[in-house]
């Protein structure tokens, strides 16, 4: 049973002071339903990604909230939580629900409202994505954890802060072409290098921002898509893997093992190689995370990701365009929505709807969504659905 994305919707990623959590959900979902040409009553189930709504806005029971706000009761509606990979896990769960034959049309959503609290409070909420007892309670924030990964990579392979900065510069350039991105500001290597250290060697402009936003997709079985005459993007594979929650228990700090394993399984299931991928949306919560990702996904050899970024091999016109949307770094990172937003970008690229950031001759795309410092990874591969 093949699974097809037949509709996609996304809000602007920003600090939405005048929009509520539920308003963001409805906006993205309505856009997705309208783009599919379907009606709400045709949807059989909902899977929603949301990481930390309890801590951030005091609201739990998000599955029920989504169905309620969309007027889709009494269909089953389920929240999926896997830290920053919540959206990717929601997408994979929906994919499996159709793949199994349980449902023929489902909605997938991802949402987070992060700007209601102070930066300190948000950092504490996000810290729950790591090991609270071993890391958070001893003062380890996520910038500091990724700083450890950066230091290890720099020591092993000679990766430089300038190479990390090149990731930020490229993603800001891509975001300028994305009307839904949080940042529409060009930056330079010098801007990044002159920004303050958050956790050395990671600087302010190496970090993704605090963001509000939502994204949604409509998935259908191949048979239902053909029956209704729907066009879209096929999900060739979606694989998930896990690793230790705390960095101190990892075998290596120069790779995210869960990414490597999920990618290997996804390539095998899709029957392709890394060289067959035309573009990828990867989890660049920090610039070092993108460098790790492009290596662990097999686009570049281990240790060569920094140099590849510096040489422009990941630009829109490079060897393998990475984060044409602007990525988490510049498009924004509303944590529970990120994995779904990546899939929205894959859909737009493969449908030829990405306008000025369109990757030329895009045929096969990949998304890579990470939870915490790599304890969860979801890798999904897509191609244009021809019916």
Residues tagged active-site: 84, 333
Listing DSSP states for 169-207 in one string gives HHHHHHHTT-TT-S------HHHHHHSPEEETTEEGGGB
Tell me, letter by letter, the H, E, C secondary structure of 311-379. CCCCCCCCCCCECCCCHHHHHCCCHHHHHHHHHHHHHHHHCCCCHHHCCCCCCEEEEEEEECCCCEEEE
Rounded Cα distance between 285 and 288, Å, is 8
* Omega prior to 252 cis, within 30 of 0: no
Secondary structure (3-state) at 77: strand
Would you say 350 and 369 are in contact if contact means Cβ atoms under 8 Å apart? no
* Omega prior to 136 cis, within 30 of 0: no
Rounded Cα distance between 148 and 184, Å, is 30
Would you say 10 and 213 are in contact if contact means Cβ atoms under 8 Å apart? yes
Q: Would you state the structure tokens that stand for residue 168, as one six-digit string?
A: 């930020």
Q: Cβ-count burial of 249 within 10 angstroms (0-12 exposed, 13-18 middle, 19+ buried)?
A: exposed
Other residues' Cβ atoms within 10 Å of the Cβ of residue 18: 6
Q: How do 77-80 and 45-49 pair as beta strands?
A: parallel
Q: How do 105-112 and 45-49 pair as beta strands?
A: parallel
Listing DSSP states for 213-245 in one string gives EEEEEEEEEHHHHHHHT--EEEEEEEEEEE--S
Q: Cβ-count burial of 189 within 10 angstroms (0-12 exposed, 13-18 middle, 19+ buried)?
A: middle
């Amino acid at each position: 049973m093949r699974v097809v994305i037949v509709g996609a919707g996304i809000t602007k990623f920003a600090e939405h002071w005048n929009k509520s959590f539920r308003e963001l959900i409805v906006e993205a979902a309505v856009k997705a339903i309208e783009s599919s040409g379907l009606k709400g009553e045709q949807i059989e189930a909902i899977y929603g990604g949301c990481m930390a709504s309890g801590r951030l806005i005091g609201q739990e029971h998000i599955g029920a909230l989504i169905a309620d706000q969309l007027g889709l009761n009494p269909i089953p509606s389920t929240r999926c939580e896997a830290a920053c990979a919540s959206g990717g896990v929601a997408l994979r769960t929906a994919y499996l629900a159709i793949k199994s034959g349980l449902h023929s049309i489902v909605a997938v959503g991802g949402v987070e409202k992060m700007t209601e609290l102070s930066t300190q409070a948000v950092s504490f909420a996000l810290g729950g994505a790591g090991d609270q007892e071993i890391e958070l309670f001893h003062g380890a924030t996520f910038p500091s954890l990724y700083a450890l990964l950066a230091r290890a990579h720099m020591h092993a392979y000679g990766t430089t802060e300038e190479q990390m900065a090149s990731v930020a510069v490229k993603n800001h350039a891509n975001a300028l072409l994305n009307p839904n991105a949080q940042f529409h500001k060009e930056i330079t290597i010098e801007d990044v290098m002159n920004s303050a250290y958050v956790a050395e060697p990671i600087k302010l402009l190496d970090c993704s921002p605090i963001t509000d936003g939502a994204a949604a997709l409509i998935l259908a079985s191949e048979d239902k898509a053909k029956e209704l005459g729907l066009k879209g993007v096929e999900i060739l594979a979606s694989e998930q893997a896990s690793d230790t929650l705390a960095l101190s228990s990892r075998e290596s700090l120069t790779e995210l093992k869960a990414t490597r394993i999920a990618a290997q399984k996804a390539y095998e299931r899709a029957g392709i190689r890394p060289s067959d991928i035309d573009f990828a949306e990867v989890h660049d919560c920090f610039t070092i995370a993108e460098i790790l990702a492009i290596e662990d996904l097999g686009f570049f050899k281990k240790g060569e990701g920094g140099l590849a970024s510096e040489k422009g091999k990941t630009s829109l016109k490079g060897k393998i365009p990475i984060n044409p949307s602007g990525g988490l770094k510049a498009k924004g990172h509303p944590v529970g929505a990120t994995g779904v937003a990546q899939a929205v970008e894959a859909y737009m690229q493969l449908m030829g709807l990405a306008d000025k950031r369109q990757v030329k001759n895009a045929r096969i795309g990949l998304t890579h969504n990470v939870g915490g410092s790599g304890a969860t990874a979801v890798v999904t591969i897509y191609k244009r659905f021809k019916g």
